[in-house]
Structure 1
Amino acid sequence: MASSSSPLVFSVKRCAPEFVRPTNPTPREVKQLSDLDDQEGLRFQVPVIMFYPNNPLMKGKDPAKVIKEALGKALVYYYPFAGRLIEGDNRKLMVDCTGEGVLFIEADADTTLENLGDSIQPMCPCYEEILYDVPGSGEILGSPLILIQVTRLRCGGFIFALRLNHTMSDGPGLVQFLDAISEMAQGLSVPSLLPIWQRELLNARNPPRITRIHHEYEEVTNTRGTLMTMDENNLVHRSFFFGLKEIRALRNRLPASLGACSTFEVLIAYVWRCRTIAFAVDPDEVVRISCLINMRGKRGFDLPPGYYGNAFVYPASITKAGMLCKNPLEYAIRLLKKAKAEMSQEYVKSVADLMVIKGRPSFTQPGNYLISDLTRAGFGEIDFGWGKPVYGGIARALSNISFCMRFRNSKGEEGNVIPICLPPPVMERFEQELKRMTKEEEPVRLITSML
């Protein structure tokens, strides 16, 4: 296991930002987002970065030009991305399909992919250079819904970086759009999977009614003052790589009676436990973890192929900090499995209804940690003609949100990478606890009540 902290520095020369519009006329209309799309917790920009090596077969072709032309063609089908968000009654978000376009930046960097090494994983130290924050472009309302920067490298490779207004799409929905761009770049005139809007499928019922318990949206006010709170201006950003060795060490701690566990379940239970220990939370404080569960392809949800909106909920597992920290890893995994088992069609409807009844609240902040499994989202499969990226995925974590993605390090080891943000002293304790748990045998302890 290793964390990224490279002092890598390189310069980037950028052309002036421009707008890429659909190449053909598109409908001028207003389209509502779903009641899952427009919740407060999704009103932020999510960055994605993909690193592509040189391909001798593409010699003479400019990746920025190829992608820009393909983007304009794809926007004919995904024209809402070329619009702007507006807000209606009860904070309802809608897309005004103005056709103004996606913001696009063409750039060159004085480095090679080889020089970047393991810094291509999340928390890349030159993030601001390869995904430039155009002044005034990052607002949720009235701003471009997507910003793209294509940066050519000296070696012939390039970096594709994108920033998405999260209310428009989740990971799989964005990958669907990127697939359409890649198909256009390689000669198709129509995407192989046509986009479906139909955001009303995930709207609240009439009348709305909350029928399930939603710990992920609870208001937390009465605490002992030790729940995780962070100053956004004083955080350490690092990524942690978990190879076969670390995952095997964690699995060796688990009893056979626990049954089958995914690698994601093992890793996030481990990170949640270590993170809580590092914050030194009062044992009687209630802590929670919210794992995103996507409903695409799941029985009973009937989302059509081509739906590219947000199609997930994040039920929370809760427990007292003392129980989480003192019990073995098995305890946290059982909590995660219990929350996952409660996910149902009724649960999703109850979330949409809660959004309408309570004014589209954000998720619980104090003592909550959100994490999403994007190992199978498909970012690593996007091919604009140069082949697959050596890394493709989310570019960085937020203060209380992390992602789990596939990564192959410079030694050729396959594994998972999780970016995380913590205050400096907490990060130090977190790293120590991570190392301890993957090296030492933990004595078996009795698992008691799972508050």
Structure 2
Amino acid sequence: MAASSLAFVARRGEPELVAPAGPTPRELKRLSDLDDQESLRFYRSVIYFYRSHPSRSGLDPARVIRHGLAAALVHYYPIAGRLRELPGRKLVVDCTGEGVWFVEADADVSLDEFGDTLCPPVPCAGELLCLPESNSAVVVNRPLLYVQVTRLRCGGFVFGIQVCHSLVDAPGITQFLQAVRELAGGMEAPSVRPVWARELLDARDPPRPNYHHPEYELVPNAANDKLRPGEQLVHRAFLFGPEEIASLREQLPPRMKARCSRFLLLSAFAWRCRTAALGYEPGDEVRFMFVMNARGKRDRPLPEGFYGNALTFGVARTTAGELCTEPLGRTVELIVAARARIAADDYAQSVADALVLRGRPRFMTARTYLVTDLTKSNLHEVDLGWGMPVYGGPATTTLATFHIPATGGGITVPMCLPPWAMERFAANVCAGLSPASSRRGRSSSVESAILSNL
């Protein structure tokens, strides 16, 4: 059965609140000024598919995970609390110990019916998650984590979570899930002890940003965007295997071929293809925005066990005309320069200062291609006791997207666009990967698409 034709209804049990298995402190804990920016006030979904395992025969995954959750929440007790909003829209966690939302379900479907290659949008994701997917949501006075464990006909199961992004980022939720696994398996404490330390990413008093932050500034003529609210969108995933990546690398100048990462290469290529597909005017400013992890800074290290948001956004900017008519190597250089601008040890501090001065705004999305690189994340490697997941990662994608590791050393790039733009994007990708295009060092289809507007 093709995954696109898959249809089923999960039989859900009654939701319950899973509280910490032991006593926890009752206190208020402030989120950092990176945590409570407007753009992170939503629930990020992550979904895992597991096959049955002979060593786990007779074990109910829902019961095992529920036990692990309760034990882990003793150590990660803020996740069992509720967000409150103080004057000035400052978010704090009220550590009430009320617990996280938990649902167990059954579905008359086997894992193989989901298709050979799982990636966003996961078929029938709405049956495998507690909440409807949304980029925005009320996050105060409600559970911070929603969990659904769905047993499949084949003996495998699906573990779907939706976590308030204001509380954790991808490394943070992965750390928590590792604790769930360890404590469900009988450990008395997680191997990585959680650390709050949100004050390390608070604004200074007074705030004094020392870098420019275009991610929170509108592009000129922002209303002149090709993507309209409520517009019908289609989803398609593009797989770039070793052969496709090698073809793109051949389009770079010799000095860049060996040093250019796959992230830079695919980001530059997709940004060009997408911009041309949307048909922006040659003089329109367009942006590429990407997520950077602030962990691991030598002079301003975050402690091991920190599970809050430690992400910042880099921005590369140019005009649509220049982006799509210059060689691919020039686009790579734009992204490299943007990455260098946010590499400073104190950049995250400057972001926190800017957010407070500007009232914790959303990052800007008009004429912007936003990508999160998950290829070096261990988000997809969460073993709950049944071995590595067949798939672990986002359940859906929106206008923002991901680079997701694929079998065989490839990278999957999900794309979400209006139907007319998706057709153009797919054509641009094919043209940009053609041997003739590789020899010229640019995509003739991409160039033609933008030149038609000149």
Same fold (TM over 0.5): yes
> Letter of the aligned partner of 1:376 in structure 2?
K
Which residue of structure 1 aligns with residue 380 of structure 2? 380
Q: Distance in 2 between matches of 1:342 and 1:380?
A: 29
Cα distance change of structure 1 residues 24 and 346 upon mapping to structure 2, 3 Å threshold: same
Q: TM-score, normalised by structure 2?
A: 0.92
Partner of residue 78 from structure 1, selected from 76, 79, 83 = 76
Cα distance change of structure 1 residues 82 and 233 upon mapping to structure 2, 3 Å threshold: farther
Q: The residue matched to 2:431 in structure 1 has which SS?
A: helix
Q: The residue matched to 2:161 in structure 1 has which SS?
A: strand
Identify the range of structure 1 (293-302 vs 168-177) with the bigger mean alpha-carbon deviation. 293-302
The structural deviation recorded for 1:55 is: 0.3
Does residue 107 (structure 1) correspond to residue 105 (structure 2)? The answer is yes
Does residue 353 (structure 1) correspond to residue 348 (structure 2)? The answer is no
Which residue of structure 1 aligns with residue 185 of structure 2? 186
Q: TM-score, normalised by structure 1?
A: 0.93
Partner of residue 44 from structure 1, selected from 34, 42, 45 = 42
| Identity in percent | 47
Which residue of structure 2 aligns with residue 95 of structure 1? 93
Which residue of structure 1 aligns with residue 162 of structure 2? 163
Which residue of structure 1 aligns with residue 172 of structure 2? 173
The structural deviation recorded for 1:301 is: 2.5
Which residue of structure 1 aligns with residue 141 of structure 2? 142
Which residue of structure 1 aligns with residue 433 of structure 2? 438
Q: Distance in 2 between matches of 1:170 and 1:156?
A: 31
Contact 1:246 1:438 in 2 (8 A): yes
Cα distance change of structure 1 residues 221 and 323 upon mapping to structure 2, 3 Å threshold: closer
Structure 2 residue runs without a partner (length 5+): 443-454
> Letter of the aligned partner of 1:347 in structure 2?
Y
Q: Deviations over 1:357-384 (max 9, x none)?
A: 1100111121112111111221222111
Q: Distance in 2 between matches of 1:291 and 1:441?
A: 30
Q: Distance in 2 between matches of 1:348 and 1:382?
A: 28
Q: The residue matched to 1:345 in structure 2 has which SS?
A: coil
The structural deviation recorded for 1:135 is: 11
Q: Distance in 2 between matches of 1:63 and 1:444?
A: 51
Aligned residues: CA RMSD? 1.9
Which residue of structure 1 aligns with residue 447 of structure 2? none
Which residue of structure 2 aligns with residue 229 of structure 1? 227
Contact 2:3 2:113 in 1 (8 A): no
The structural deviation recorded for 1:123 is: 0.3
Contact 2:250 2:441 in 1 (8 A): no
Q: Distance in 2 between matches of 1:314 and 1:74?
A: 30
Q: The residue matched to 2:187 in structure 1 has which SS?
A: coil
Does residue 57 (structure 1) correspond to residue 55 (structure 2)? The answer is yes
Alignment of 1:13-32 (within 5 A): 13-32=11-30
Q: Distance in 2 between matches of 1:261 and 1:306?
A: 31
The structural deviation recorded for 1:221 is: 4.9
> Letter of the aligned partner of 1:195 in structure 2?
P
> Letter of the aligned partner of 1:354 in structure 2?
A
Contact 2:114 2:123 in 1 (8 A): no
The structural deviation recorded for 1:120 is: 2.5
> Letter of the aligned partner of 1:109 in structure 2?
A
Contact 2:131 2:162 in 1 (8 A): no
Q: Count residues in correspondence.
A: 436
Task: Write out the 4+ residue segments of structure 1 that deviate beyond 6 Å after TM superposition.
Answer: 134-137
The structural deviation recorded for 1:134 is: 7.3
Identify the range of structure 1 (26-35 vs 88-97) with the bigger mean alpha-carbon deviation. 88-97
Q: Deviations over 1:209-259 (max 9, x none)?
A: 122111111123535x64342334511122222211211111111112225
Contact 1:215 1:318 in 2 (8 A): no
Q: Distance in 2 between matches of 1:166 and 1:254?
A: 37
Does residue 300 (structure 1) correspond to residue 299 (structure 2)? The answer is yes
> Letter of the aligned partner of 2:33 in structure 1?
D
Structure 1 residue runs without a partner (length 5+): 446-451
Contact 1:81 1:102 in 2 (8 A): yes
Q: Distance in 1 between matches of 2:147 and 2:321?
A: 45
Which residue of structure 2 aligns with residue 204 of structure 1? 203
Cα distance change of structure 1 residues 444 and 427 upon mapping to structure 2, 3 Å threshold: closer
Cα distance change of structure 1 residues 103 and 119 upon mapping to structure 2, 3 Å threshold: farther
The structural deviation recorded for 1:160 is: 0.7
Which residue of structure 2 aligns with residue 312 of structure 1? 311
Which residue of structure 1 aligns with residue 121 of structure 2? 123
Contact 1:83 1:98 in 2 (8 A): yes
Contact 1:148 1:162 in 2 (8 A): yes
Q: Distance in 2 between matches of 1:314 and 1:164?
A: 20
Q: Distance in 1 between matches of 2:103 and 2:115?
A: 24
Q: Distance in 2 between matches of 1:444 and 1:135?
A: 40
The structural deviation recorded for 1:21 is: 0.5
The structural deviation recorded for 1:150 is: 0.7
Q: Deviations over 1:110-131 (max 9, x none)?
A: 1111121235222012010111
The structural deviation recorded for 1:154 is: 1.2
Which residue of structure 1 aligns with residue 451 of structure 2? none
Identify the range of structure 1 (168-177 vs 372-381) with the bigger mean alpha-carbon deviation. 372-381
Which residue of structure 2 aligns with residue 449 of structure 1? none
Q: The residue matched to 2:155 in structure 1 has which SS?
A: coil
Q: Distance in 1 between matches of 2:156 and 2:267?
A: 33
Q: Distance in 2 between matches of 1:134 and 1:246?
A: 35
Q: Distance in 2 between matches of 1:29 and 1:441?
A: 64
